[in-house]
C-alpha cells in the first residue's frame, strides 16, 4: 500500500515533462538548471538555485539585488556532466555577493548559486532505466566518497512501502540514517518518501535514463537534494509477445 504523499506525487510528477515524453531525444546530460526542473516536477526535495548565465560583468550587483537565497552561499559549475569536486567547480561558504561574484569569475559561467546548508548525513539516491528490469531505484552512502564506499542498494520499481523502508534501513546507509557514532538520526520517513517518489518518477518518465541525487542531506527534520545529474534519451520501444 502506498502512502498518501506518494499517491500525490504520482498525480503531479508527469505534468511538467511533456517535452521528455514527446519527440526524439538523443542521449544527453542535462544541465543542472534543466535537471532542477525534472526534480521540481517530480516533487523531490531540493535546494533552490539561482542560475547565472549572464556575463560576469555586474554579477555581484545582480546577485545583491536577488539575495533571496541568503548567505552563506555556494557557487558551482552548471556545465552538463562536470565533476565539480575534481575540477574545482565548486566554492563553499561564501559570505556575501562579492565573494559569490569572485567564485563565479574563477569557475566561469554558467554557474548556479545555492544557499549553504550544513549538517545532516550525506546520502545518495537515484533511479536508472535498466534494459532488462526497467526502472531501478538506488540508495546508499553519498558525498565525495560515494564511489569509494560503494554499498548502494537497488530495488526494482514500482516499490512498495516495505521495499522503500528496506532500502533506507539496510547496509551502511541505514547505519548513517539511524545516527552513526552519536550523530543525530536522519528523518527516516522523509527519506522513505523520497525513494518512493523516485520510483514513481522512473515509472512515469522512461526518457529519464538516469537521475542521480548526490548528495542528499538527511536532516533530523526532512531531507534535501543538494546536487543532481540527469541523463535523458529516447526510450526503447517495448515489444510485447501478447496483445492482452
pLDDT in tens, 195-214: 999 999 999 888 888 988 98
Cell output for 236? 526503447
Q: In sequence order, what DSSP letters do the residues of the chain get, joined into one string?
A: ---HHHHHHHHHHTGGGHHHHSS---SEEPPHHHHHHHHHHTT--B---EEE-S-STTHHHHHHHTGGG-SSEEEEE--TT--TTTTT-EEEEE-SHHHHHHHHHHH-SSEEEEE----SEEEEEEEEEETTTEEEEEEEE-STTHHHH---EEEESSPPHHHHHHHHHSHHHHHHHTTGGGPPPP-HHHHHHHHHHHHHHHHH-TTEEEEEEEEEEE-SS-EEE--EEEEE-PPPPPP-S---
Res 14: pLDDT = 36
CA of 215: how far to CAs of 16, 126, 135, 140, 229, in Å? 24, 10, 20, 10, 11
**Max mean pLDDT range (43-47, 65-69, 180-184):** 180-184
Determine the Cα–Cα distance for residues 150 and 125; give it in Å rounded to an integer. 12
- Find residue 213's DSSP bridge partners: 125, 228
- Label residue 116 by pLDDT band (50, 70, 90): confident
Q: Which of 94, 92, 103, 90 is nearest to 56 (CA)?
A: 103
Cα dihedral: 27, 30, 152, 185 (round 10): -160
What cell was used for 198?
A: 523516485
Least confident of 54-63, 86-95, 141-150, 167-176: 54-63
**Which of 125-134, 209-218, 230-239 is predicted least confidently?**
230-239
What percent of the chain is predicted at pLDDT more than 90? 31
Relative to beta strand 111-115, strand 153-156 is unpaired
Whether the bond into 11 is cis, omega within 30 of 0? no
Domains and CATH numbers, the chain: 4-45+119-232 (3.30.470.20), 50-115 (3.30.1490.20)
Residue in 128, 119, 88 with CA at minimum distance from that of residue 221 = 119
Write the pLDDT tens digit of every residue in 40-50: 665 677 766 66
DSSP assignment of 37-70: HHHHHTT--B---EEE-S-STTHHHHHHHTGGG-
For residue 40, the model assigns a pLDDT of 61
Amino acid at each position: 500500500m502506498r502512502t498518501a504523499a506518494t499517491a500525490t506525487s504520482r498525480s503531479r510528477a508527469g505534468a511538467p515533462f511533456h517535452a521528455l515524453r514527446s519527440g526524439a531525444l538523443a542521449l544527453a546530460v542535462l544541465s543542472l538548471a534543466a535537471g532542477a526542473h525534472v526534480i521540481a516536477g517530480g516533487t523531490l526535495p531540493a535546494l533552490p538555485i539561482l542560475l547565472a548565465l549572464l556575463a560576469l560583468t555586474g554579477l555581484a550587483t545582480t546577485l545583491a539585488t536577488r539575495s533571496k537565497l541568503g548567505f552563506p552561499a555556494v557557487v558551482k559549475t552548471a556545465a552538463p556532466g562536470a565533476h565539480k569536486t575534481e575540477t574545482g567547480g565548486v566554492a563553499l561558504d561564501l559570505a556575501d555577493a562579492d565573494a559569490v561574484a569572485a567564485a563565479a569569475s574563477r569557475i566561469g559561467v554558467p554557474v548556479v548559486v545555492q544557499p549553504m546548508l550544513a549538517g545532516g548525513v550525506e546520502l545518495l539516491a537515484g533511479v536508472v532505466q535498466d534494459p532488462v528490469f526497467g526502472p531501478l531505484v538506488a540508495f546508499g552512502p553519498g558525498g565525495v566518497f560515494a564511489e569509494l564506499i560503494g554499498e548502494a542498494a537497488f530495488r526494482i520499481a514500482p516499490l512498495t512501502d516495505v521495499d522503500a523502508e528496506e532500502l533506507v534501513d539496510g547496509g551502511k546507509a541505514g547505519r548513517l540514517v539511524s545516527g552513526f557514532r552519536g550523530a543525530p538520526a536522519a528523518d527516516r520517513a522523509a527519506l522513505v518518501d523520497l525513494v518512493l517518489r523516485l520510483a514513481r518518477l522512473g515509472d512515469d518518465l522512461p526518457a529519464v535514463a538516469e537521475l542521480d541525487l548526490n548528495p542528499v542531506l538527511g536532516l533530523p527534520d526532512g531531507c534535501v537534494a543538494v546536487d543532481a545529474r540527469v541523463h535523458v534519451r529516447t526510450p526503447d520501444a517495448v515489444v510485447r509477445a501478447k496483445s492482452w
